[in-house]
Structure 1
Amino acid sequence: MGQYVWKRAVTAGAAALLAVGGAGGVAAAADDEAPAAPVVTSAEYPDDDNWHDGVGHYGTFMIDSASDDVVEYRYTGLGSTTRILRAPEPGAAVSLGWMPERVGPTYLQVEAVDSTGHVSARTIHHILVQEGRAALTHWDPDSQSGAVSGPGVGLGAPGPSGTAVASAASFDGTDGAYASLDTSADLSRTFSVDAWVRPNHLDESTTAVSHSGFSLGTVGASAYLFELPNPDGGDTIRVTGGVPEEGEWAHLTGVYDAEQKTASLYVDGVPVSTVVGAVAPGGTGALRLGADGDGGHWNGLLTDVNVWDRVFVPGEITAAATRRTQRLGYWDLESATDGKSPAYAGGAPLTLVGDASIYAATDDCPWNPDCTPVTYPMVGDGDLLLDGDGDYATTPTALTPTDAGFSVAVHVRLTEDNPARDMTVLSQPGEHTDLFTLRYDAASRTWQAVVAHEDRAGAPTTTVSAPLDLTVPAGDQSLAVVYDESTDQLRLYTGDAYAADTASVTGLDTWAPAGDLQVGRALAADGGTDYLAGEVDDLHTFAGVVTGDQLGALRGGGIDV
């Protein structure tokens, strides 16, 4: 969606004007004068150097010229390219509806055009748009806004990780699984509702948030639902999309736009469906959490419920649904003291074992034309050098997933251009198996990321792979693994903003490992295996999901994401 939402509104009879200066058009007296510049007025967004309400709130501009032969108005600004509003009859005023989607200054520039094609001077109407109005109603377990809860509601559960929402309430699916609070929203007009939800059971349709004018919940395990009853008693308006999963958080947003007559559902910040021609029933009464009054009580977690009397715009929805990554550790592998390479921005140091060392290139090539060139580290001034014969590094800062997933990024360079044996770049042991392994597979000459979905021997695994890049010396490669619970994908990146391989992990889980992160080997019950012969540099680990753009910054030696 663009910067602004548009609505064209002109007075009745506009269809009578078919064209300007053409067949069936308006016959106008010939003249050589340009029409008078238009006058623009707006009650909601006046040009008065003040900030006005606001993002997600519709306003109307009335546009008129003193000349009685004006047949159209050309306008730009408000985030639009040049557009035309045709007058219903020569000299008549027109109106333009508009809703801002971002904070800040903007403008509307208008010209009047008469029946002979003469164009007036431009009128520029300046506007200062402030933030959208706060939610009329807000609820979370720490700010219940006077809610009355049933016995099937428990407090104290953690909120979705990577958000500012600290806590959630648990609803047990019984008749007592409800909370009720007042809301002043007029649901016959534009409104929006959002919530973080985590269903525990999906064997039937359930309601997370409801009112006499809407409900937000699930259609069993098949989809999420935003529903508006029909005000005339006809079929309800059902907007569905997304795939609910037991035990996984999702951010749901329902938007009813009375100006556009649309009902839209967003899941995790992404628009999944819109119904056109929607008319909300309105209605008064309490906002109910966990139930709709007709059964279907919520069984799971619920938090951060909001109701607005405006459009909650796409940028706001994306921000509300974003789960930020939590850095676990960063090792730049530039130096080591007493056999330990320090961690930065979180994490414990990496302990170097065996002959493992930090390699730093030193030469005088910048000023000596007869020098012997050396191999430079992949990032910065140093990297971890491993000889494949018992060398490795380890840290107690485990790669621990959250309910959003995990991410890891690293640079690796193999000693040989085409190695003949398997080697491990990274592994994260649990008690019985590895949560994940990033490795080189000699038989297929590929990089592979393998994730186990339980901490037991023989646990089911998911693998993604990508070929060794033979166009760079010794497989010098930037690798990243992302386990994304929101999209149910395991992704392997090999030096590009787009995943080299993706696999579905729908219905599969991660777990919290107990062991230390291993660099340069896999850890079996009887010791290490598949030792790496090569170099490792710039290791980053995260709880949560790092995007392709963020990985691009890490590949270039960046730290912040």
Structure 2
Amino acid sequence: MPGAAYFDGGDYSYLITEGIAVDTTRAFTVGVWVRPEVTGQEMVAVSQSGIWSAPNFALGATTDGDGKPTWGFALPTADGQVTVTGGTPEAGEWAHLAGVYDPATGSARLYVDGTAVAARDAVVPADTALWHFVMGEALDSDGYTFGQKWRGDLADVRVWNADVPAAELAELGRRKPRPFAYWPMESVQTLENGIARIPDTHHNIGFILGGDARLSNEEPLAGSADITLDGDGDHLFSDIPPLNTDRSWAVSTKVRLHGAPDRDMAVLSQTGWQADAFTLRYHAADQTWRAVLAHADSADADTTQLSAPAPGGAQNLLLQYDEKARQVQLYVDGILADSAPYAETDAWQAGSSLQAGRDSAADGVGAHFLDGDIDEVRTWEGALSEEEIRAVP
């Protein structure tokens, strides 16, 4: 994540302000993106110190009553300390934490990745002494550590002197999609070995032209050119896998079929060794777009399928997996056409190529070759919101 700070858990690995950041006897909210190196132990991500007392608050990783890793938001009370716990930390994985104190209702709430996971009754004493705001541990005024030091990354630390609405925390805790690859299909490079490739604009991932696939300037779908395929072995394939298909992802393209096809034809797919993690194809029997997602890299794996009308002409297709929502979604021309449940256990990493114009290339055997035009292929790490999908060119 851009702008992250790393804390190694050492004696001097923390940041501290010159004064208080917020009056914790009144309504307040604190939020932070965290990526722990380890789990199963107490680690304070952000806190505000007390004077000769427990911290004004502490937000970070802890363990539950059974010793299992969890997130925690701790506040002082007249009877000691109350800790709200919930969610499950994963070493090396980003999560957004937010702690909210609402004195009007006498409650503390913990949010993980924008979702409220737990709440408890809590009343912070009005005479609580306030001290420095600290990142990376929890200290009293004499420098004594109350919780183990943070080991990992912290980013986007925010503090509000208000009870931030749940909708705002949901947006802050949403993992924003990151554009990963984009092929505008405007030009073709010819390498020394004669291979023709289209470079993407982000990471120099090549889309290799196979068969007689060629650049065309005749009525391009976008810009000055697109790629035309004749359905007889033409296709494109990436020279490295551009999508991590076991986490949230999205892929989109513009497509135009030639004529009125009487057979199934693939638009996009990402292949494993025995199956496609997903394939997005035209289904001739009922003239629909059909997304098929295998639940494992196996030829006989169960699948999840989505469909949408394919009336002909040029259309924009977008398929995505939202890990948090446990859903796969198919959008046509920026409108949600179909969705279905898709569990985390159904997702797996397809370690081969992204393909355009064919699918089922496990063991090197291609199928469902497209007779049509392809343009503007994009991939993202993470799932897009509906607003972001409508903004895709």
What TM-score does the superposition give when structure 1 sets the normalisation length? Answer: 0.52
* Structure 1 residues 409 and 192: CA distance shift in structure 2, 3 A: farther
5+ residue gaps, structure 2, are: 15-31, 130-138, 191-195
Establish whether residue 441 from structure 1 lines up as the match of residue 283 from structure 2.
yes
Read off the aligned partner of 1:488 and give its amino acid letter. Answer: R
Structure 1 residue corresponding to 2:38, chosen from 170, 175, 191:
170
Q: CA deviation at 1:181?
A: 9.3
Structure 1 residue corresponding to 2:71, chosen from 200, 208, 226:
208
Q: Check whether the contact 2:75–2:124 (CA below 8 A) recurs between aligned residues.
A: no
Read off the aligned partner of 1:348 and give its amino acid letter. Answer: I
Give the structure 2 partner of residue 503 of structure 1. Answer: 340
Read off the aligned partner of 2:108 and give its amino acid letter. Answer: A
Structure 2 residue corresponding to 1:421, chosen from 263, 266, 274:
263
Establish whether residue 548 from structure 1 lines up as the match of residue 392 from structure 2.
no
1:275-295 deviation line (CA, Å, top 9, x unaligned):
8x85236799765369xxxxx
Establish whether residue 340 from structure 1 lines up as the match of residue 177 from structure 2.
no
* Structure 1 residues 143 and 232: CA distance shift in structure 2, 3 A: closer
Establish whether residue 516 from structure 1 lines up as the match of residue 384 from structure 2.
no
User: What is the total number of aligned residue pairs between the two structures?
Assistant: 348
Q: CA deviation at 1:239?
A: 8.9
1:210-240 deviation line (CA, Å, top 9, x unaligned):
5463xxxxxxxxxxxxxxxx7469xx89797
Q: CA deviation at 1:209?
A: 3.1
Q: Could you say which structure has the larger radius of gyration?
A: 1
Q: Check whether the contact 2:35–2:153 (CA below 8 A) recurs between aligned residues.
A: yes
Give distance in 2, aligned partners of 1:257 and 1:308. Answer: 14
Aligned-residue identity in percent: 32
Give distance in 2, aligned partners of 1:202 and 1:359. Answer: 64
Output aligned runs, 1:323-362, within 5 Å. Answer: 323-338=175-190, 339-361=196-218
Q: CA deviation at 1:272?
A: 6.7
Q: Helix, strand or coil: the match of 2:387?
A: helix
Q: Check whether the contact 1:185–1:307 (CA below 8 A) recurs between aligned residues.
A: no
Give distance in 2, aligned partners of 1:302 and 1:198. Answer: 14
Give distance in 1, aligned partners of 2:62 and 2:371. Answer: 44
Give distance in 2, aligned partners of 1:352 and 1:453. Answer: 29
Give distance in 2, aligned partners of 1:518 and 1:198. Answer: 44
Structure 2 residue corresponding to 1:253, chosen from 89, 98, 104:
98
Q: Helix, strand or coil: the match of 1:451?
A: strand
Q: Helix, strand or coil: the match of 2:366?
A: strand
Q: Check whether the contact 2:58–2:73 (CA below 8 A) recurs between aligned residues.
A: no
1:419-447 deviation line (CA, Å, top 9, x unaligned):
22111101111122212211112233221
Q: Check whether the contact 2:252–2:319 (CA below 8 A) recurs between aligned residues.
A: yes
* Structure 1 residues 198 and 547: CA distance shift in structure 2, 3 A: farther
1:23-66 deviation line (CA, Å, top 9, x unaligned):
xxxxxxxxxxxxxxxxxxxxxxxxxxxxxxxxxxxxxxxxxxxx
Give distance in 1, aligned partners of 2:300 and 2:65. Answer: 28
Q: Helix, strand or coil: the match of 1:170?
A: coil
Give the structure 2 partner of residue 380 of structure 1. Answer: 223
Read off the aligned partner of 2:341 and give its amino acid letter. Answer: S
Q: Helix, strand or coil: the match of 1:280?
A: coil
Give the structure 1 partner of residue 300 of structure 2. Answer: 458
Give the structure 2 partner of residue 279 of structure 1. Answer: 123
Establish whether residue 407 from structure 1 lines up as the match of residue 245 from structure 2.
no
1:339-395 deviation line (CA, Å, top 9, x unaligned):
33332233323222222112212xxxxxxxxxxxxxx22212221111111111122
Give distance in 2, aligned partners of 1:209 and 1:287. Answer: 14
Read off the aligned partner of 2:316 and give its amino acid letter. Answer: S
1:110-147 deviation line (CA, Å, top 9, x unaligned):
xxxxxxxxxxxxxxxxxxxxxxxxxxxx9964466758
Read off the aligned partner of 1:178 and give its amino acid letter. Answer: E
Give distance in 1, aligned partners of 2:187 and 2:314. Answer: 20
Give the structure 1 partner of residue 323 of structure 2. Answer: 485
Q: CA deviation at 1:520?
A: 0.2
Q: CA deviation at 1:256?
A: 0.3
5+ residue gaps, structure 1, are: 1-137, 149-163, 214-229, 291-300, 362-375, 557-561
Give the structure 2 partner of residue 397 of structure 1. Answer: 240
Q: Helix, strand or coil: the match of 1:458?
A: coil
* Structure 1 residues 494 and 310: CA distance shift in structure 2, 3 A: same
Give distance in 2, aligned partners of 1:460 and 1:198. Answer: 38
Q: Check whether the contact 1:424–1:440 (CA below 8 A) recurs between aligned residues.
A: yes
Q: Helix, strand or coil: the match of 2:339?
A: strand
Give distance in 2, aligned partners of 1:166 and 1:239. Answer: 16
Q: Check whether the contact 2:221–2:375 (CA below 8 A) recurs between aligned residues.
A: yes
* Structure 1 residues 387 and 323: CA distance shift in structure 2, 3 A: same
